[in-house]
């Protein structure tokens, strides 16, 4: 079946602009995660959604970052007033927690802030 998809694959934006990154999880997966991969910080957890529960936002680095998940499926990560340090690869993963803790990752969105 289809895996996790993310769009766009690459995004170049100017400092100060807002960006939206999209994630389509595997159908039926109830849990959705966002991670950030950067040269300086490695792979970091950002936010987690599970069903209708309140999201775990403990990894968001600042209030410029927000995310939502509509209808328990598609998720959008929004970065407002982008800064150069936001340049990274943003990875989305989904999981069916009731069966296992395996997370399946999308190909990522490479964000470059100029």
In the complex, the residues that contact other proteins under the rule CB under 8 A are 4, 31, 33, 35, 42-43, 45, 48, 50, 56, 59, 91, 93, 95, 97, 100-108
Q: Is 37 exposed, middle or buried (0-12, 13-18, 19+ CB in 10 A)?
A: middle
User: Closer CB to other proteins, residue 16 or residue 51?
Assistant: 51
The whole-angstrom separation of Cα 79 and Cα 54 is: 20
Q: Which is nearer to other proteins, 34 or 82 (CB)?
A: 34
Q: How far is the CB of 102 from other proteins (least distance, A)?
A: 6
Is the Cα dihedral 56, 68, 105, 14 positive or negative? negative
Q: In terms of residues, how long is the chain? A: 114
Residue 47 CA to residue 33 CA, distance in Å, equals 6
Instruction: Considering the complex, state which of residue 2 and residue 14 has its C-beta at the smaller distance from other proteins.
Output: 2
Tell me the closest approach of the beta carbon of residue 81 to other proteins, in angstroms. Answer: 26
**Measured between alpha carbons, how far is 44 from 26 in angstroms, rounded to an integer?**
21
Residue 67 or 106: the one with the smaller Cβ distance to other proteins is 106
In the complex, minimum distance from the CB of residue 3 to other proteins, in angstroms, rounded to a whole number? 9
As measured in angstroms, the least distance from the Cβ of 80 to other proteins is: 23
């Amino acid at each position: 079946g289809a895996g996790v998809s993310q769009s766009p694959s690459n995004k170049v934006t100017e400092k100060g602009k807002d960006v939206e990154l999209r994630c389509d999880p595997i159908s039926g997966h109830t849990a959705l995660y966002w991670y950030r991969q950067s040269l300086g910080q490695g792979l970091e957890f950002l936010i987690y959604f599970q069903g209708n529960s309140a999201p775990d936002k403990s990894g968001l680095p600042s209030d410029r970052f927000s995310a939502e998940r509509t209808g328990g499926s598609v998720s959008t990560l929004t970065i407002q007033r982008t800064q150069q340090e936001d340049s990274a690869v943003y990875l989305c993963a989904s999981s069916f927690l009731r069966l296992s803790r395996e997370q399946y990752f999308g190909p990522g969105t490479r964000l470059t802030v100029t």
